[in-house]
Amino acid sequence: MTFRMTRHKTLTRCGTATLALLTGLSPALAQMTEIGPGEGELSIVAWAGYVERGETDAAFDWVTKFEEATGCMVSVKTANTSDEMVALMNEGGFDLVTASGDASLRLIAGGRVQPLNVDLIPSWATVDDRLKEAPWHTVDGVHYGVPYMWGPNVLMYNTEVFPEPPTSWNVVFEPMDLPDGQPNKGRVQAYDGPIHVADAAQYLMAHRPELGITNPYELNEDQYKAALDLLRVQRDLVSRYWHDAFIQMDDFKNEGVVASGSWPFQVNLLKSEGLPVASTIPEEGATGWADTTMLHVDSEHPNCAYQWFEHQLSSNLQSDLSVWFGAVPSVPAACTDGRGMQTAEGCDTNGLADFDRIRFWTTPVANCSQGEGACVPYYRWVSDYIGVIGGR
Amino acid sequence: MTVPAPAILPARGAGDRIGALFWRHPRLLLALLLAPPLAWLGVVYLGSLAALLLQSFYSIDEFSGVIVREFTLKTYGELFRAQNLDIILRTLAMSAAVTLACAVIAFPIAYFAARYARGRWKALFYLGVMLPLWSSYLVKVYAWKLILAKEGILGWAAERTGTTFLIDAALALPGVGGNSLSTSLLGTFIVFVYVWLPYMILPLQAALERVPLSMLEAAADLGASRAQVFRTVILPLALPGAIAGSIFTFSLTMGDYIIPQIVGTSARFIGLAVYQLQGTAGNLPLAAAFAVVPILVMLVYLTVARRKGAFDAL
């Protein structure tokens, strides 16, 4: 896997939000009623590594067969951030986009993507029931996207220091001695993105119920302040925050880091290199990301796009991509039916069994369920998190 | 009265006519020759700067996070918030420290190269100074991360030679210390100095080579001690070179956003803040305002440098 691939993940998963979600919905547009013959072309805006045709690694190919079967030649435009994805879709000229939870609602609100007729996708029924109506692609019961991949932000730990998996995120949030008798100061890491405030909020949900946090992405001033205070305690423990998967892996090898929030991607790679690491989702639960394929409102190749939706759910894509990326398929059957390389065990390692304990990344906006302007919006998360890391 | 017969000239081709046009209007040729580079400078170079400046006078809406395209100084006001001021001061302090260290390290090297190295040694010297510039900047920084890591080469060497206490003492320094060299500001400083050192050595050497031997001899003839010659002749004459070099080291440190990302405490520097604000936060106005800071600092710096004659040595 390439350096670039993880880098974009870093930037994007971290919840890139500019425009707050405008209330209200774009006028319902006519959706497709039947699939005609393919138009011969399909352009996809995707994260690097998301649409592979065996060029990076011959074993990972889920495009060639699609092209042979449908005659739709796939071209990929790689985007590095959610902002870039939104910008490219606003610009137009693309058919599909693999949008994360922090971009998808902006695309819907901006009227850049069209409602989907899921009846035209035979394999829609195989999508994980818990994702079918997910709020990051379904608005007022209208579907705007087909689930692609998702994954949790797990707690990675060193098995020599932790003979038993840590049961709480407190190992990265509170000063304490780890099971090997040494303090955790200087030996833990945290994510170098403002969305990490949500991890702190989730920890507080379990440990300070009097704050009344119900959703770590919707924090009022008091709840937000408590989360920042917790992060200031964490600042003393963390020597360096991680933002790049490969730098984090290096820190586990050379810097004596033994516990950190992480992605299954790093855990799998480090394990494959023989390092004593494992991952767990502690009792407080975890945050996570979920991506959705969406169709541009002015797409010139909608028939190819619908064929891709079907391909995305029914082919080896779900299975092999989840291996490639350390993610979880949106079609649970892809873990077990042998359509690709993924196994039930692999899916569980990547987080499938813990779906209910994952709160998926969404963009914090001012107008939240606590009321109009009641919540602290994302841009303040950014500037305040910079302050916390700078020692404020 | 007779009308003079018109001169009979051969029919003129297009080339001739254009040539004649330029001959009659020499400024036209000049304008045509200058237009492309001026357009580049004006439109692409200054134009993008102007667009940047314009952005910094916009602001971000507090509630929705949407950029408000109305003139305001609010964004510049935000620069003075404690955490943003921290970033600016941290960056300036690092730039100054790196520049000073580069000057101190580069001077003896440049002096040796300018005064004593001859023939093959001189070639070797140039190679030695330039060689690091040939390899990829990213590779160098990642290599330094490994060298400075807690379990890296430096730590290993210190352990073998029983000098770990030296590293520990350095890391115990308040403010710049940390858990390991690669996760401390000290480590960021070391890597900055390494990466920008050649940019200090080369102008310094150029300046030192121009110090005429006759002046040194004259000073000696007049009874100056070696220390006096150094202080009153060599140092003042080399100063423009040092200032020219410092322009590079200072501005390069101020704008860099890769090194503090890979080596250091994750505390932001200006470049890193701009990168994050424009990318993930979508706060383009504040990113632009941050970007204006180095421009202003460098304008002041260059004005002072020009007065000191730094550009004579370039």
| CB nearest A386 (choices: B83, B150, B182) | B83
Residues 6+ apart with CB under 8 A from A175: A183, A184, A185, A233, A236, A237
**Per-residue model confidence (pLDDT) at position A310:** 95
**Per-residue model confidence (pLDDT) at position B191:** 95
Query: pLDDT per residue over A166-184, tens digit each?
Result: 999 999 999 999 999 999 9
Is residue B66 scored above 70 in pLDDT? no
Structural domain contains residue B284: no
Query: pLDDT per residue over A12-28, tens digit each?
Result: 333 333 333 333 333 44
What are residue A79's DSSP bridge partners?
Answer: A47
**Highest mean pLDDT, choosing among A337-341, B181-185, B191-195, B220-224:** B191-195
Q: What percent of chain A has pLDDT over 90?
A: 58
**Per-residue model confidence (pLDDT) at position A268:** 83
Query: pLDDT per residue over B229-243, tens digit each?
Result: 999 999 988 988 999
B67 sits in which H/E element: strand B67-68
CA distance A362 to A216: 10
Tell me whether B90 touches chain A (CB under 8 Å): yes
Residues 6+ apart with CB under 8 A from A331: A123, A126, A127, A128, A313, A314, A318
Tell me whether A329 touches chain B (CB under 8 Å): no
Are the Cβ atoms of A377 and B146 closer than 8 angstroms? no
Ordered domains of chain A (ranges, CATH): 3-151+289-355 (3.40.190.10), 153-287+364-389 (3.40.190.10)
CA distance A371 to A359: 21
Structural domain contains residue B132: yes
Measured between CA atoms, the residue of chain A closest to residue B277 is A382
| CB nearest B268 (choices: A83, A253, A390) | A390
Measured between CA atoms, the residue of chain B closest to residue A185 is B179
CA distance A53 to A384: 41
Range of the domain at B231: 97-265
Structural domain contains residue B207: yes
Structural domain contains residue B166: yes
* Average pLDDT along chain B: 88
Size of interface A-B (CB pairs under 8 A): 134
Of residues B250 and A82, more confidently modeled = B250
ipTM (interface predicted TM): 0.74
Is residue B310 scored above 70 in pLDDT? no
| CB nearest B268 (choices: A17, A185, A386) | A386
Structural domain contains residue B78: no
What are residue A61's DSSP bridge partners?
Answer: A53
Query: pLDDT per residue over B7-47, tens digit each?
Result: 676 777 888 888 888 888 888 888 989 999 888 888 888 99
Residues 6+ apart with CB under 8 A from B180: A186, A239, A255, A256, B148, B149, B150, B155, B171, B187
Q: Which residues of B touch A17 (CB under 8 A)?
A: 65, 282
Are the Cβ atoms of B63 and A18 closer than 8 angstroms? no
Tell me whether A18 touches chain B (CB under 8 Å): yes
Interface of A with B in 227-246 (CB under 8 A): 238-241, 243-244
**Per-residue model confidence (pLDDT) at position A21:** 35
**Per-residue model confidence (pLDDT) at position B135:** 87
**Mutating which of A9, A86, A254, A257 best tests the B interface, going by the most B Cβ atoms within 10 A?**
A254
Measured between CA atoms, the residue of chain B closest to residue A391 is B267
Q: What is the CA radius of gyration of chain A?
A: 21
**Per-residue model confidence (pLDDT) at position A1:** 34
Structural domain contains residue B6: no
Is residue A335 scored above 80 in pLDDT? yes
Is the separation of the CB atoms in B198 and B245 below 8 Å? Answer: no
Query: pLDDT per residue over A59-106, tens digit each?
Result: 899 999 999 999 999 999 987 667 778 778 877 889 999 998 878 887
Measured between CA atoms, the residue of chain B closest to residue A392 is B83
Is the separation of the CB atoms in A143 and A168 below 8 Å? Answer: no
Are the Cβ atoms of A365 and B65 closer than 8 angstroms? yes
Q: Which residues of A touch B266 (CB under 8 A)?
A: 192, 238, 240-241, 389
Is the separation of the CB atoms in A199 and A189 below 8 Å? Answer: no
CA distance A141 to A127: 16
Interface of A with B in 160-199 (CB under 8 A): 185-186, 192-194
Q: How far is B13 from chain A (nearest CA, A)?
A: 49
Please name which of B253, B262, B211 lies closest in space to residue B233, comparing C-alpha atoms: B211
A322 class by beta-carbon count within 10 Å (0-12 exposed, 13-18 middle, 19+ buried): buried
| CB nearest B179 (choices: A19, A239, A386) | A239
**From the CB of residue B6, how many other CB atoms can be counted at a distance below 10 Å?**
6
Least confident of A358-367, B3-12, B138-147: B3-12
CA distance A316 to A333: 11
Tokens found for residue A295:
């169709």
Is the separation of the CB atoms in A241 and A391 below 8 Å? Answer: no
Give the total number of structural domains in chain B.
1
* Average pLDDT along chain A: 86
**Per-residue model confidence (pLDDT) at position A170:** 95
- Full-prediction pTM beyond 0.80? no
B271 class by beta-carbon count within 10 Å (0-12 exposed, 13-18 middle, 19+ buried): buried
Query: pLDDT per residue over B262-281, tens digit each?
Result: 999 989 999 988 887 876 56
CATH of the domain at B223: 1.10.3720.10
| CB nearest B283 (choices: A22, A379, A387) | A379
CA distance B283 to B274: 9
**Mutating which of A16, A189, A379 best tests the B interface, going by the most B Cβ atoms within 10 A?**
A379
Please name which of A194, A241, A191 lies closest in space to residue A216, comparing C-alpha atoms: A194
Is the separation of the CB atoms in A116 and A322 below 8 Å? Answer: no
Structural domain contains residue B224: yes
Backbone dihedral region of A4: left (phi > 0), alpha (psi from -120 to 50 degrees) or beta?
alpha
Is residue B155 scored above 90 in pLDDT? no
**Per-residue model confidence (pLDDT) at position A289:** 86
Q: Which residues of B touch A22 (CB under 8 A)?
A: 64
| CB nearest B83 (choices: A19, A365, A390) | A390
Measured between CA atoms, the residue of chain B closest to residue A387 is B83
What is the DSSP code string of B76-93?
HHHTTSHHHHHHHHHHHH
**Per-residue model confidence (pLDDT) at position A28:** 43
Query: pLDDT per residue over A112-143, tens digit each?
Result: 899 999 999 999 999 999 999 988 899 889 99
| CB nearest B66 (choices: A20, A194, A390) | A20
Residues 6+ apart with CB under 8 A from B273: A386, B84, B87, B287, B290
* Sole residue written with tokens 């080596």: B263
**Per-residue model confidence (pLDDT) at position B279:** 63
Query: pLDDT per residue over A273-326, tens digit each?
Result: 999 999 999 999 999 989 999 999 999 999 999 999 999 999 999 999 998 888
**Mutating which of B185, B263, B266 best tests the A interface, going by the most A Cβ atoms within 10 A?**
B266
> Collapsing DSSP states into helix, strand and coil, what is residue B68?
strand
Tell me whether B136 touches chain A (CB under 8 Å): no
Distances (CA, A) of A339 to A316, A322, A336: 5, 12, 8
**Per-residue model confidence (pLDDT) at position B91:** 96
Please name which of A359, A355, A353 lies closest in space to residue A202, comparing C-alpha atoms: A359
Counting Cα atoms < 13 Å in the Cβ hemisphere of B292 gives 17
Of residues A367 and A45, more confidently modeled = A45
Is the separation of the CB atoms in A14 and A100 below 8 Å? Answer: no
Structural domain contains residue B202: yes
